[in-house]
Structure 1
Amino acid sequence: MTHPLFHRPFTRAVKVGGDATWAVTRLAVRSGLAVPRLAAGALGRRLMPEPPTGTVPAGRTVRLAGRGSTFVVDVPGPTPDAPVVVLLHGLACTAYLNWFPVLGALGDRYRVVAFDQRWHGRGIVSERFRIEDCADDAVAVLDALGIDRAVFAGYSLGGFVAQETWHRHPERVAGLVLASTARNGQGTVHERLFFPVLAATMNPVSRHAAARVEQLAQSLPLTPDVHLTDLTSWGLAQVRSTSGWAYPEVVNAVGHFDSAPWIGEVDVPTAVVVTEKDHAIPTRRQHKLAAAVPGARVFSAPGGHASVVLDAARWLPVFHDALDDVWARAGADVATSTPRLRDVSAG
């Protein structure tokens, strides 16, 4: 089946800019699809072990005042005053697809909140995708759940959103865990050429793209399946819950994000989880992010950009150590609260 982005209306819309514009859009689509395809493939090959319960924590639709509705997973911690962690997923993923291996396990020590970001899955659909809006959504989720402050942990795109959340709402951020992410989406000459063309491509078709994203979102069941008895089918359903029309719009926003002018002002405990064999967001950029944040500590994971799924047995303990470190420095005593995160390599 032809991918939605290559249906005739979209083809006609972007080809008005010429073959170069069409090529840019195709590249953006492929970039957006890379991680979810890897994740789905990993699920199919059983590289990611099933959680022992066979399910993920159930979620619900939450209305955010003045913004719209999104799908939220809210896992209670071990105590009513447990520290709160907000998990922000990556490009073309959902809260479940990015974080399903860790949602239940982190609940042993933290209250864990994850939600579908706008233009993804059951998230809010707006005229344009803006990382600033995603940051405001994250704080609106806190408001809806009656939470004052939290550590924000973002993966890839989610790392950009976490940085922007601190920038716009520093009083709500107790700390940051920035995983497989960077200060900006442009660095090479090719990227500096690519993203202006992509922006010009998306401007005339963004309204149509948003309508198609909304159309798919409205067709989804109110809540996704939480049973992981067939990981292949479950993972593909998660991938397909995000419209292909979303990918160029989101990639465009990622490419124009730049925290370099202010990231050095971050004043909360920060950990940077570096995927040392990353090619999607080069490792050197991840280390530059860590060097730019005062007092940031680096936690190295040996795999690539899709490590959260493809190399979870090694990535998740590193992530958990980073999270513990940030909350310990933020003043929350988590060292003796409950047992450590389970070993996900055990079947």
Structure 2
Amino acid sequence: MDRAGSSVAPGREHVITLPGRGQTRVWDSPGPPGAATLVLLHGVTLTAALNWSGVIPALRRRFRVLTLDLPGHGDGLPGSPPYRLEDCADDVAGIAAELGIDRLIPVGYSMGGLVAQLMWRRHRELTAGLVLCCTARNVSGSPWERSAALMLPGVTAAAAWIPAVHTLGADVVGAGLLDRGTEPMARHWALAQMRRTRLLDAMAAVQAVCGFTSHEWIGSVDVPTSVVITRHDRVVPPRRQWKLAAAVPGCVVHEIDGDHGVFLGAPARFTAVLLRACAAAAGKDAPSRSASSA
């Protein structure tokens, strides 16, 4: 990928209009004939290019790969309050219908992992498997996290009245997602990608993330599932990621040495683990429950 631009990967670019939602772009890397279809769902403040461009060349050798910017991010659908993760899941289902896809595997990173869970919850006939990376059943469990989540709507509403805030990008908050050891050039490019998302849209998405929980239903997941756990994550604590894995019947755990920005800080290591995770979710070369590590 040309890091100066926003393209994600070689392949066809679709411009799709979803009724009542607007127009979005989807990048479609076809993969080998008959390959399973992955849809890659990025994290909050990120773009598809930032989160996934390092892994797509390897993934597309085995899978058809769809990538898109989620609403309010990059080239995604316009952000419109309130931000709903359920809408994100429904948008993916609408895109699949437009492209004639009847089965796919959502691969979600952080916030994208919450959207992937909702894909199974809301569109079970479409969801053939799940790959859940650096994510959890909820992110507002402790008392101070719940307090912060309760304050966030007021903070977001107040910020919207400050003209200067409208000119700010998501890099203001997204920079904290990157590993401390990220190389300067990679960090510069990452922050430029984050600036393609408005800070106010990112704050609305964070608010939606804070309100998410799958505790009551995640144990009913009945499709092959991989959970990728980042051992040194400062954003989504590993204990939360392990609780998600423990709640999903028969899931395969894939551990990786890295922080929340491992996709940027160690792309080769992330790619190797993600390939195994996707293969397991597709029912190919599936390892034992917690055998994959890097």
TM-score normalized by the length of structure 1: 0.70
Identify which of 10, 14, 39 aligns with 1:57: 10
Residues 1:276 and 2:206 are matched in the alignment: no
Residues 1:294 and 2:249 are matched in the alignment: yes
> Match of 1:143, SS?
helix
Inter-partner Cα distance in structure 1 for 2:84 and 2:137: 16
Q: Is the 8 A contact 1:109 1:334 kept in 2?
A: no
Q: Letter of the 2:100 partner, please give it.
A: G
Inter-partner Cα distance in structure 1 for 2:188 and 2:110: 24
* Structure 1 residues 61 and 235: CA distance shift in structure 2, 3 A: farther
Deviation at residue 234 of structure 1 after TM alignment: 5.1
* Structure 1 residues 130 and 207: CA distance shift in structure 2, 3 A: farther
> Match of 2:199, SS?
coil
Aligned to 1:220: none
Max Rg structure: 1
> Match of 1:61, SS?
strand
How do 1:305-344 residues align onto structure 2 when only pairs under 5 Å count?
Answer: 305-328=260-283
Q: Is the 8 A contact 1:85 1:152 kept in 2?
A: yes
* Structure 1 residues 317 and 189: CA distance shift in structure 2, 3 A: same
Q: Is the 8 A contact 2:8 2:27 kept in 1?
A: no
> Match of 1:186, SS?
coil
Residues 1:121 and 2:74 are matched in the alignment: yes
Aligned to 2:152: 198
- Gaps spanning 5+ residues in structure 2: where? 171-184, 287-294
User: Which structure: greater helix fraction?
Assistant: 1
Residues 1:103 and 2:56 are matched in the alignment: yes
* Structure 1 residues 283 and 310: CA distance shift in structure 2, 3 A: same
How do 1:6-25 residues align onto structure 2 when only pairs under 5 Å count?
Answer: none
Aligned to 2:123: 169
Deviation at residue 104 of structure 1 after TM alignment: 2.4
Q: Is the 8 A contact 1:57 1:103 kept in 2?
A: no
Deviation at residue 189 of structure 1 after TM alignment: 1.7
Identify which of 129, 143, 148 aligns with 1:189: 143
Q: Is the 8 A contact 1:128 1:206 kept in 2?
A: no
Residues 1:73 and 2:27 are matched in the alignment: yes
Deviation at residue 159 of structure 1 after TM alignment: 0.2
* Structure 1 residues 232 and 206: CA distance shift in structure 2, 3 A: closer
Inter-partner Cα distance in structure 1 for 2:162 and 2:260: 31
User: For the aligned residues, what is the CA RMSD?
Assistant: 2.8
> Match of 1:174, SS?
coil
> Match of 2:39, SS?
strand
Inter-partner Cα distance in structure 1 for 2:207 and 2:231: 25
- Structure having greater relative contact order (Cα 8 Å, sep ≥ 6): 1
Residues 1:267 and 2:267 are matched in the alignment: no
Q: Is the 8 A contact 1:160 1:183 kept in 2?
A: yes
TM-score normalized by the length of structure 2: 0.82
Residues 1:152 and 2:110 are matched in the alignment: no
Deviation per CA, 1:90-144, whole angstroms, max 9, x where unpaired? 1111111110011222111110001010010111122321111111011111112
Inter-partner Cα distance in structure 1 for 2:115 and 2:105: 13
* Structure 1 residues 85 and 334: CA distance shift in structure 2, 3 A: farther
Deviation per CA, 1:266-319, whole angstroms, max 9, x where unpaired? 111101000011110000000000000111111000111111111222221111
How do 1:229-248 residues align onto structure 2 when only pairs under 5 Å count?
Answer: 235-248=190-203
Deviation at residue 62 of structure 1 after TM alignment: 1.9
* Structure 1 residues 187 and 326: CA distance shift in structure 2, 3 A: same
Q: Is the 8 A contact 1:206 1:249 kept in 2?
A: no
Inter-partner Cα distance in structure 1 for 2:160 and 2:212: 18
Q: Is the 8 A contact 1:127 1:206 kept in 2?
A: no
Q: Is the 8 A contact 1:84 1:113 kept in 2?
A: yes
The count of aligned residue pairs is: 264
Aligned-pair identity in percent equals 43
Structure 1 window deviating more from structure 2 (62-71 vs 251-260): it is 62-71
Q: Is the 8 A contact 1:127 1:207 kept in 2?
A: no
How do 1:87-102 residues align onto structure 2 when only pairs under 5 Å count?
Answer: 87-102=40-55
Deviation at residue 67 of structure 1 after TM alignment: 2.1
Q: Is the 8 A contact 2:8 2:52 kept in 1?
A: no
Q: Letter of the 1:323 partner, please give it.
A: C
